[in-house]
Structure 1
Amino acid sequence: DPLGSWTIIVKAKDINQNSGVSLPVNVTITKSDLFVDAMVTYNSKGVPNTSFSTGDTVFPYFRIKYSGSSGTFLTTGQYLVSVKNPSGATMANLTAVYDANRIGFYTPTGYSVSAFDPGGAWTIVIDAYSLNDGFGNTGPNFDASVRMDVVTSPLGYLPFVIGGAVALLGGILVLKRYDTSLEGFEHLEQMIGGPIPRGSSLLLVGDPGSGKTVLSYELLHDELEVGRPCALLSYDAFPEDVQGRMSEFGWDIISHLRKGRLKIIDCYSGLAGQGEGALRDPSDLTELNIQVTSFITKAKNAPVTLILDSLTPIFNGVEAKQAINFLQTVGAKVKKTGGLFILTASRGAIPEDSIAKIKSIVDGVIELTLVRSGRKGVRYLSVLKMERRRIASETVSFEIARERGLVFRVSRFGILRAKLLQLKIKPGQPSEKQAPSAVTPAKAEGKHVDEKGKEGKTPDVSSKGAGTR
């Protein structure tokens, strides 16, 4: 098609022979120039890099953009990219094709730096007017290039490498020693983004021995301390063992049992062959459902907390579909009261498809892992999801301490950074007025209290009063 001024005219005619012609519209057809945009080099790990050594592979990447106000990008074709050494000699011509994942042109083969290649400043070049989109648009108007450095003799840098390694190791040792702070159970609330929302279900899933049961007991104790009626469906321990285990951490539940605020439904005795316990058949989900309903009814519509520890015997005793239907039914009843339904599950003891189904129907998922190295083990916790909350994506290591429960190892620099963000420093404001009167602001249910109250006083809201941490 010729370049220049074109005219568009619309002619119309209907079945009744009525016709008409539009006024002419003039448009100008011009040629677009192609130019290279965002030209970089990647290493074999897919990371942008400008320094390569013997054995490394260079992968050039670039985008082709049309000139003009639209600024659209070309997404078709194959183009040559030259790799030139410091003397300007072409060492290789690579073919770049469009990669939709990278949104640009990429050379899948790359250029491997050999031991015979000279060191120094190399260039990746796209020759002028070597680009053509097939419609007569060409470019670039001049050679497009990007520099990369080839280091073929790393021995000259050996003293610097050794000095840098020593400094890095020293810094790592210092950080490991001083950049760790043991934070209490309140840190979990910060990871969740506030208290666990009322009227929700929570899955604690992880490796055996990772601390799922201890975490569920700590959540149970917090709920009891604020006066909420609770029930524990114990499939992994006798009731007296539950009392003994919780007393080791300083969580007294005897008074709550006497007052009727806590009910332990013994599902373990029947499994262990030590009598019938609360259920004649622990896999009888109908009877278990009746007992849960009775407990909710006696609470007189008060928000209740129900903890099921753990799901393994249930899935071993009935079909997965029946077990999941039971969890949905019980969870709906508990959530209707505005309470919490907390489940524990061991990874590997329940089929993965069942775990995935449970994760999809609960409101929150906390994952605990146990990484063993010789005789030692390190526990980690991460919050995978929590409805109505903005969660932290970090994975934090923690310990299980006597008299305290879960204790998190948190970076001091991370805590300092979070506190600095809370200050919201204003330009020109005196520094003595920038410090808040409390180190860690309390959080009310469903809200984040980031600064001082309206009258300049720090709100004193108890975390336990706001909800389960």
Structure 2
Amino acid sequence: MTGTFSPAIPVYLGAALSYRFPGQSSWTNSNSTQRIFPGSANVTVPLNLSPTPLIEQSSIAIEIYASSVPPGATIWLRWGASSAPSLVVVPMSDYEGLFPANIITVQDRAGNIPPYFYLDAAPPNNYVVVKAFVFSALGTTEIQQGRVNMTIHDPNGRPVRGATNLTMSIATSTSPYEFIAAWSYPSNSTQGTYLVYIDMVDSQGNLVYSFRGPGGTFGLVPPGFVPFPYNILPYLVVAGVGGIGTVGGVFYYRRRSKSYLAPFGHFNTLTAGELDGGTVSIEGNTGSGKTILSEQLMFEDLKRGRPCIFVSTSDFPSNVRSGMKSMGLEVKGYEQSGLLTFVDGYSAEAGQESTEKFSVPSIGDLTTLGMKISSSLPPQRSKGTSLYFDSLVPLASKTKPESIVSFVQSIGAKMKGIGGKAVFTLGPSVDPMVQKQLEDMSDCVVQMEAFEERGVRRRRLKIAKLRARRHQEGWNVFAIEDGKGIIFYSKKPKT
């Protein structure tokens, strides 16, 4: 900065940073000035900025000006010249992250999501594939010039060889951007639980986001591994009887265990009776049976003459009807009698016109969705009506996490107020904080899991929470059969 100055009049260099959200005409400004003196000098003008949550397509403007310039004075501003390096530093954060928030996927090479991997797997079946969806408010160029790195930690907390600060490959060119990395684990790896860490580095080398869980875990297990509690079920603990081994004076011997097939009514044995009014959360990974469980619970209500509303956000209602029919759950008669009503939250998202009496143009509009649910209550006989909502997962990308919690709380209270229950299904892609809040407010929490055991696909569930009632704890194995739905494996014969 050079010029001719009058010593009697101070001159100031001013700077302003302004931002404007998309669609708005007014700017929000932050200004500051710095006095300058005769002669050449480098000038720094700091601006005090409060953290500002910008959104995509926001506009930012930088302004530099001189004020109180005396008459006849001349000021030259050398900006960007080699003799006068110039720059604007705008501290930013949270402009990159995972989408949905804090969620990554651990798969095998076939795209399945197993809870663990066998150490004796032969190449190429010994690959752990990690996928992450990333958003960037600064667009594709920033994503391509930056890096997304993956590090896998073994059960002892040490980074593993071949997956330490490994740069993930970008697989898509539109937001959210899919990143993929794979680790080929050696057969002599330490058995136990492994953790996946994700770090995002921007084009300037700044660490802008780190993922450290929850989630992002997998297990490496030896051949023949059987998960808890199945690894202890076939054993009896006896004293003073010879067996295959002893620990602390207690003897164990293995017996051939028997299991009996039990129809869906066995579920009421697990819950010590029918589920009363309130909020029920059904959680589980992909393929664990969340939808069929909610459908069978609803069918039991319909058989008892209780009105039901089914909100479908993951499939067309027509597919829900046909799927239930294939499981022996024919609902046509209940619809004709007015006991069952569908609310279509899927067709509009799929770009098709709904054929249902009740539908919503967008599942992200929770106000309209709540109004449609209220409108679908059977007139003159709404008492005892229950709501079945499958699923909350599509809402995660359409609305704020706190809005989902508020919506579930409001709908659950409404259904409980008329003597019914509200049943919601949710998967692992729902924000962990949202899931925790839903569990806290729920009267009942059912956890389900699909897993592989010695190459065989299996399913199990447990009642993780049931307010004010004693219930059976622990996992219960079940199967899904055409024409029958859920069939439990019970240790006691059905009488």
Q: TM-score, normalised by structure 2?
A: 0.47
Q: Find the structure with the greater CA-based Rg.
A: 1
Greater relative contact order (CA < 8 Å, ≥ 6 in sequence): 1
More helix by share: 1
Q: TM-score, normalised by structure 1?
A: 0.50
